[in-house]
Amino acid sequence: MIGKLRTVAIDCPDPRALAGFYAELLGLPLVEADSDGNEWVVLGGPLGQQPRLAFQQATDLIPPAWPDPARPQQVHLDVTVDDIEVAEKAALALGARRLPGEGEGFRVYADPVGHPFCLCWD
């Protein structure tokens, strides 16, 4: 092993707003001490504790267009849930939207900025 995963950073136009979406979706707290105003917002725990997500301002972001290969997903998160119907309803209420595509044990969604993520179950 060369190192440990520190943070997954996601580009978006409004880091604080997208961090709020993922804070509710994943139950991760805001780490204000590691955030930098509205340009870099961190969720999770102190450095060395996982998971950690950061949201970085990218004012000219061109969001992915799942499943269009001309605008690929770039990065996505798989989120394990106990009850897909309950989880889907909650994610949609937070501002997610359902995307085409699902398989055995997963459904595809977009966050409020357009980044795909999957809700997964066993």
Q: What is the pLDDT of residues 40-72, one digit of tens each?
A: 999 998 777 777 899 999 999 998 888 888 988
Higher pLDDT, 13 or 6: 13
- According to DSSP, residue 104 is labeled T
Q: Residue 95: enclosing H or E segment and its boundaries?
A: none
Range 20-44 average pLDDT: 94
- Show the tokens assigned to 95: 């501002």
Q: Name the average pLDDT for the chain.
A: 90
CA-CA-CA-CA torsion sign (106, 13, 60, 97): positive
Torsion over CA of 24, 111, 84 and 82, rounded to 10 degrees?
-40
Confidence of residue 96 (pLDDT cuts 50, 70, 90): very high
Confirm if 62 and 70 have CB atoms less than 8 A apart: no
Helices (H), 59-120: 84-94
